[in-house]
């Protein structure tokens, strides 16, 4: 393991920001800290970096107890949402900065900067000033600068958070490919579940200062530990006291499927290729649930407002009890 976080507790006054947090972050992987705003992700990242100290607990980096080590001695690289570049220095100089203060030979620095700029696809902008770059290019420069000193771990706090949705999506694909090339142990904070599912090898879900679940994107999606994790990863609906994903509920236009529940379609809403059907159960409680089907499926089955249907979760559906166990 590259980073071992053990029994971390952190309070700000009376407020508990992290409670008994234990996380093992594997070497060479891309790990996401995922969770809602205010959950404690940044606080945990800052404690790993040495920018903040925990009240209790320890942090080990590559087998070394780093709990009391100052930030400069941890050999970590960071990139934050708003990256503070040296405005008067060229892109190449910004990337070279960490190497120059370490007094590396000039030729070696030039070679390394060229290599890094190529890695982040900024070679043609080497002589520009940071203000002459787009937001996405600036974040790529920040990554090159953080990688220059060959950190043991790279810590990214919502590095693409301030960018528009399209650039964000491009950069997350780029980050994945970059990581496949350099394999540096990377921890990145995000509140965007799609970003975490798409980019990471491992996800740590953090909510209200506690770790809710740790696992691969597939494990989290297929076997969410509880209703919080399941609903944080995407839309859900309640059927028979359990939480399901709306596309995991099958709709039949005839009765007779064992365990299926009679219902009536009360609304339909088309969103792109899918159709969200609001369906009212024909029981005493008249609960409304949401089912999604493809447009083609809706057409072929004639699923329209007002018709009676029968509902049954698919066999492979992930399901957790509502208000389920942690």
Ligand X SMILES: Nc1ncnc2c1ncn2[C@@H]1O[C@H](COP(=O)(O)OP(=O)(O)OP(=O)(O)O)[C@@H](O)[C@H]1O
Residue 268 phi/psi, 5° resolution?
-135, 140
Contact 254, 244 (CB under 8 A): no
The smaller minimum CB distance to ligand X, of residues 4 and 52, is found at 52
Residues 220-249 that bind ligand X (CB under 6 A): none
The smaller minimum CB distance to ligand X, of residues 38 and 324, is found at 38
Q: Could you tell me the smallest distance in angstroms from the CB atom of residue 190 to ligand X?
A: 8
296-303 long-range CB contacts below 8 Å, 24 or more apart? 298/268, 301/251, 301/253, 302/253, 303/251, 303/253, 303/265, 303/268, 303/275, 303/277
Buried b (16+ CB within 10 A) or exposed e, 263-280: bebeebeeeeebbbbbbe
- Count of residues binding ligand X (CB under 6 A)? 13
Q: Say how far apart CA 251 and CA 49 lie, in whole Å.
A: 50
Residues 40-69 that bind ligand X (CB under 6 A): 40-43
Q: Could you tell me the smallest distance in angstroms from the CB atom of residue 151 to ligand X?
A: 21
Largest CA distance in the chain: 79
Using alpha carbons, list the distances in angstroms from residue 134 to 113, 122, 141, 162. 20, 11, 10, 12
Q: Could you tell me the smallest distance in angstroms from the CB atom of residue 35 to ligand X?
A: 6
The smaller minimum CB distance to ligand X, of residues 38 and 135, is found at 38
The smaller minimum CB distance to ligand X, of residues 92 and 199, is found at 199
Q: Could you tell me the smallest distance in angstroms from the CB atom of residue 258 to ligand X?
A: 44
Q: Kindly tell me the burial class for residue 162, based on how many C-beta atoms sit within 10 Å of its own C-beta (0-12, 13-18, 19 or more).
A: middle
Backbone CA torsion sign across 46, 50, 54, 58: positive
Residues 164-203 that bind ligand X (CB under 6 A): 189, 191
Contact 119, 144 (CB under 8 A): yes
The smaller minimum CB distance to ligand X, of residues 113 and 206, is found at 206
Q: Token pair of 168, please? A: 């964000």
Contact 193, 233 (CB under 8 A): yes
Candidates 9-17, 94-102, 164-172, 316-324: pick the segment binding ligand X (CB under 6 A).
9-17
The smaller minimum CB distance to ligand X, of residues 163 and 303, is found at 163
Which of 12, 22, 73, 170 contacts ligand X by CB under 6 A? 12
Candidates 10-18, 137-145, 218-226, 265-273: pick the segment binding ligand X (CB under 6 A).
10-18
Q: Could you tell me the smallest distance in angstroms from the CB atom of residue 37 to ligand X?
A: 3
Does 137 interact with ligand X (rule: CB under 6 A)?
Answer: no
The smaller minimum CB distance to ligand X, of residues 41 and 112, is found at 41
Q: Could you tell me the smallest distance in angstroms from the CB atom of residue 156 to ligand X?
A: 12
The smaller minimum CB distance to ligand X, of residues 133 and 162, is found at 162
Residues 25-44 that bind ligand X (CB under 6 A): 35, 37-43
The smaller minimum CB distance to ligand X, of residues 161 and 240, is found at 161
Angle at 285 between CA 262 and CA 232, to 5 degrees: 85
- Determine the 3-state secondary structure of 33 from DSSP: strand
Q: Could you tell me the smallest distance in angstroms from the CB atom of residue 16 to ligand X?
A: 9
Q: Could you tell me the smallest distance in angstroms from the CB atom of residue 231 to ligand X?
A: 17
Q: Could you tell me the smallest distance in angstroms from the CB atom of residue 228 to ligand X?
A: 14
Q: Say how far apart CA 68 and CA 74 lie, in whole Å.
A: 10
**Binding site residues, ligand X, CB under 6 A:** 12, 15, 17, 35, 37-43, 189, 191
């Amino acid at each position: 393991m590259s980073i071992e976080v053990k029994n971390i507790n952190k309070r700000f006054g009376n407020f508990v920001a992290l409670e008994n947090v234990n996380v093992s972050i594997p070497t060479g992987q891309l790990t996401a800290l995922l969770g809602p705003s205010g959950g404690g992700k940044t606080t945990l990242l800052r404690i790993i970096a040495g920018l903040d100290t925990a009240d209790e607990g320890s942090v080990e980096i590559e087998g070394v107890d780093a709990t009391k080590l100052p930030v400069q001695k941890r050999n970590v690289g960071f990139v934050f949402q708003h990256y503070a570049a040296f405005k008067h220095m060229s892109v190449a100089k910004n990337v070279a900065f960490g190497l120059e203060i370490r007094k590396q030979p000039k030729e070696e620095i030039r070679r390394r900067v060229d290599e890094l700029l190529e890695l982040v696809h900024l070679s043609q902008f080497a002589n520009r000033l940071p203000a002459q770059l787009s937001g996405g290019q600036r974040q790529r420069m920040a990554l090159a600068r953080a990688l220059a000193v060959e950190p043991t771990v790279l810590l990214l706090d919502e590095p693409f958070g301030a960018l528009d949705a399209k650039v964000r999506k491009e950069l997350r694909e780029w980050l994945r490919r970059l990581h496949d090339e350099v394999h540096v142990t990377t921890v990145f904070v995000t509140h965007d579940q799609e970003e975490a599912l798409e980019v990471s090898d491992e996800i740590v879900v953090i909510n209200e200062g506690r770790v809710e679940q740790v696992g691969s994107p597939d494990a989290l999606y297929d076997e969410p530990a509880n209703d919080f994790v399941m609903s944080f990863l995407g839309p859900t609906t309640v059927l028979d006291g359990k939480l399901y994903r709306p596309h995991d509920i099958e709709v039949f236009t005839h009765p007779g499927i064992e365990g299926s529940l009679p219902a009536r379609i009360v609304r339909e809403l088309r969103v792109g290729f899918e159709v969200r059907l609001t369906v009212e159960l024909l029981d005493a409680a008249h609960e409304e649930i949401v089912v999604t089907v493809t447009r083609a499926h809706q057409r072929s089955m004639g699923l329209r407002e007002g018709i009676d249907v029968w509902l049954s979760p698919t066999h492979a559906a992930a399901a957790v009890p509502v208000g389920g166990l942690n």
